[in-house]
Every structure is written in structure tokens, then in C-alpha cells.
């Protein structure tokens, strides 16, 4: 937690009066307790309370004043403003963005690249009625804009399951010159045109019923898997009104699976093969969703209210980004999964964190009796112990 910017956290707390009328669990301890639950894979409030009480005096040295009762933690999850932890997560994300600015990824590209997608977390309708998704089902959606350099989220929007993915394009602020990669669920030409006017680039897949008029074809090397590289305009009546500019249409056949894909982009300068590689890198956001569902506590929640769910999700994201920051600043070669596994067993150990995470062997310690004189011939004797009934 030394890598945690305490001053920025206190600013977020003051912004939303997070410690007003609070006596036993201030916002910082609230964050530490739920971060402990994330790092050690606690499953319930009772589980958290029992494990914290077992730590005894070690809690004080870690920043937690006293063991937290589950009723106190439940009240904090219910009443404390979730925007405190949301704003603080974005502070950590900004730091991680600067640290991983030069990190390479699977495409030869100098500009920043982001993958946009969402994942659905199923809930029980009787326990989470505010998140109604289907007639007999509840769910929330985690809309994520993932930075491909470093594989960490830069924007996370939490909605109910009913919100369609394409609506998230209205919530984003685009960086000029950056690439945004999304699947066909985000294909809305009016929204993509606004992205184009902001100076950013998009890469997505074309739908089968989309109609185009070809204006120009560029030469390609079919040995690389490319099939065509065209400049097109939309020929549909409504779609042409929504996106009146020219588009680039690229055909590609995956040599490994044999699947044919057609990409749409507003970038005309990058090689066609780079555009295809960019879309392949979009799979990193799917792997990110799989990873956090397996290794973070975002499928089982410590509270049933919307506020409690949002607090837990944002703290889980903060812990993920904080571990990524520690990995970069300490120059660790271990994966995030390995670091989390080590931290889950050594959170309260009094030893340097670099020694723990880099798996360095500690120097051998002398035995406790090295200052005691040895009796001549004592350790050379063979002592036989016998017992008789």
C-alpha cells in the first residue's frame, strides 16, 4: 500500500464527504479491508471479519485500526458513496497509463490503442431486483475500455444488463490519433462518425447486410492472408446520411482457422495487415474479463444493494491496477497472477516486498544456539530412546 497515493485518496473522500458522521470505519480503512478481501479471496462478510480478528496486532501496522465487524462493514457498503472509489480507481489508472506508455503489444503501432467490449455478470433477481435483465434473471454489465499497452482498463462503466453496448460510445471521450477496436456490436455509423470527427480512428467488423459502393482498390499481398483493401462509401439511404465520409474496407482470411473477416476503419495510412493485427489484439479484452472473473471477487458480492456492488467492483479494479503499478515500478518479471498468489499468502509478513515478489532466497540464519559452547563429544554420541509398555 506504499504505492497507493494517499493524498489523492483523501481528496476523493473530501469531495464526497466520505467520513462525515463516521466513528469506527473511515473510508481509507474501508478500502484496506475490501482490498484485503480481494487479495486473500474472502467469500463473505463473516469470512472477512474472522480472518481480520485472527491477525491481531498486525492490523495496526497495516493501517487498519481494529478488526471490522461485519455489521459495520455492511453499513459502510450500503451508505458510503461509491464514487469515492470510482474516482480513486481513475487516479490509479492515470498513473498506470503513464507507466505503460511504451509497453509493446501485438501490433506494430506507435499510437495508443484501446479495445472496447463488455462482460455480463449474472445475479439473482430476488436478491438484486434493481439489476433486472430478463424476466427471471438479473445481471450487470461491465463496459471496459482496455489499453492494449499493459492490458489494464482505462474506462470502466457499470450498468444493468439491459443497457446495449453501443450506448457506451456516447459516454467516451476520444483521444485524437488513437485507435479504438470494437466488435460488430458497436457498429453504429452515426456514433462512429462522431468518433471520426474527434480525430480518432476506429477498427471494427462489417455486418453481412451492410451495403457499400467501391471507389478504389489497393494492391495487396495475398500470401499474408489479405483478400482486398478497398476505399468504399455507404450506399444505404440512412447509413450514408449517418456516415457521409469514405471508409476503408479490408478483407482478411485467418491462415490458422480459415475464417474470412471483413474490417471497417477510417484510417487510410496504416498498412492493411496492421489493421488486421489490431483487430486480433482485441482478444486481449476477452482474456482480461476471463482473468478478473477467475482471480478477483466480482462474481460473489458482499452486499446486495447497487451501492455495495459498485464499491466492490471499483475496489477490485483498483487492486488490479495497483498490482500492475507495483509490477512496473519494481521491475518484476512475474505475471500478475503469480504476484496475486504470493500476496494472498504474505500480506502480513514483515519482510521487504521486493524480496517476496521476486522470489529471492533470504540469507541463511544462524542457529539460535551458535553462542553456546559445545560439550566435547556430545554430538558424536548415538542416543537410543526406548519405551516399554
Q: DSSP letters of 303-327?
A: -SSHHHHHHHHHHHHHHHHHHHHHH
Q: Could you read off the pLDDT of 59-76 as tens digits, one per residue?
A: 877 878 888 889 999 999
List Cβ neighbours of 169 (8 Å cut-off, separation of 6 or more). 186, 188, 191, 192, 194, 195
d(CA 34, CA 295): 15
Quick one: pLDDT at residue 359? 62
d(CA 32, CA 25): 10
List Cβ neighbours of 287 (8 Å cut-off, separation of 6 or more). 151
d(CA 157, CA 164): 12
Query: Which of the four pLDDT bands, split at 50, 70 and 90, describes residue 383?
Result: very low
Contact between 103 and 150 under an 8 Å Cβ cutoff? The reply is: yes
Give Rg (Cα) of the chain. 27
List Cβ neighbours of 112 (8 Å cut-off, separation of 6 or more). 147, 149, 175, 177, 178, 179
Lowest mean pLDDT among 88-92, 247-251, 287-291: 287-291
* 284, three cell numbers: 486481449
Global pTM reads: 0.81
d(CA 79, CA 77): 6
Q: Could you read off the pLDDT of 267-311 as tens digits, one per residue?
A: 999 999 999 989 988 888 998 898 888 888 888 899 999 999 999
* 106, three cell numbers: 501485438
The CATH architecture assigned to 183-281 reads: 2-Layer Sandwich (3.30)
Average pLDDT over residues 179-203: 94
Share the mean pLDDT of the chain.
86
Q: Where are the domains of the chain?
A: 6-84+303-346, 183-281
Amino acid at each position: 500500500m506504499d504505492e497507493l497515493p494517499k493524498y489523492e485518496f483523501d481528496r476523493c473522500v473530501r469531495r464526497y464527504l466520505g467520513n462525515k458522521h463516521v466513528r469506527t470505519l473511515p473510508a481509507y480503512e474501508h478500502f484496506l479491508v475490501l482490498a484485503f478481501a480481494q487479495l486473500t479471496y474472502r467469500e463473505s462478510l463473516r469470512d472477512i471479519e474472522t480472518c481480520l480478528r485472527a491477525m491481531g496486532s498486525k492490523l495496526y501496522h497495516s493501517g487498519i485500526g481494529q478488526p471490522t465487524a461485519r455489521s459495520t462493514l455492511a453499513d459502510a457498503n450500503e451508505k458510503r458513496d461509491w464514487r469515492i472509489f470510482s474516482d480513486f480507481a481513475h487516479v490509479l489508472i492515470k498513473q498506470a497509463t503513464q507507466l505503460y506508455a511504451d509497453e509493446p503489444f501485438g501490433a506494430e503501432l506507435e499510437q495508443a490503442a484501446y479495445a472496447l467490449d463488455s462482460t455480463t455478470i449474472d445475479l439473482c433477481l430476488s436478491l438484486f431486483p434493481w439489476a433486472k435483465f430478463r424476466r427471471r434473471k438479473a445481471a450487470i454489465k461491465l463496459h471496459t475500455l482496455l489499453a492494449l499497452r499493459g492490458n489494464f482498463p482505462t474506462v470502466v462503466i457499470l450498468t444493468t444488463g439491459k443497457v446495449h453496448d453501443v450506448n457506451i460510445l456516447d459516454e467516451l471521450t476520444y483521444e485524437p490519433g488513437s485507435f479504438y477496436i470494437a466488435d460488430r456490436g458497436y457498429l453504429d455509423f452515426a456514433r462512429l462518425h462522431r468518433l471520426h470527427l474527434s480525430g480518432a480512428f476506429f477498427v471494427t467488423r462489417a455486418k453481412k447486410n451492410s451495403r457499400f459502393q467501391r471507389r478504389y482498390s489497393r494492391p495487396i499481398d495475398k500470401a499474408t492472408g489479405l483478400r482486398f483493401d478497398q476505399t468504399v462509401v455507404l450506399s444505404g439511404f440512412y447509413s450514408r446520411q449517418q456516415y457521409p465520409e469514405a471508409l476503408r474496407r479490408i478483407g482478411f482470411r485467418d491462415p490458422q482457422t480459415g475464417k474470412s473477416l471483413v474490417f471497417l476503419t477510417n484510417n487510410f495510412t496504416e498498412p492493411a495487415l496492421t489493421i488486421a493485427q489490431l483487430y486480433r489484439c482485441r482478444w486481449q479484452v476477452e482474456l482480461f474479463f476471463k482473468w478478473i472473473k477467475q482471480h478477483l471477487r466480482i462474481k460473489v458480492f458482499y452486499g446486495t444493494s447497487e451501492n455495495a456492488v459498485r464499491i466492490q467492483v471499483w475496489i477490485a479494479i483498483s487492486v488490479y491496477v495497483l498490482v500492475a503499478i507495483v509490477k512496473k515500478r519494481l521491475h518484476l518479471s512475474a505475471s500478475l497472477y503469480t504476484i496475486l498468489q504470493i500476496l494472498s499468502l504474505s500480506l502480513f509478513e514483515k519482510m521487504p516486498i521486493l524480496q517476496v515478489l521476486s522470489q529471492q532466497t533470504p540469507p541463511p540464519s544462524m542457529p539460535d544456539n551458535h553462542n553456546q559452547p559445545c560439550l566435547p563429544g556430545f554430538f558424536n554420541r548415538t542416543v537410543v530412546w526406548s519405551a516399554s509398555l
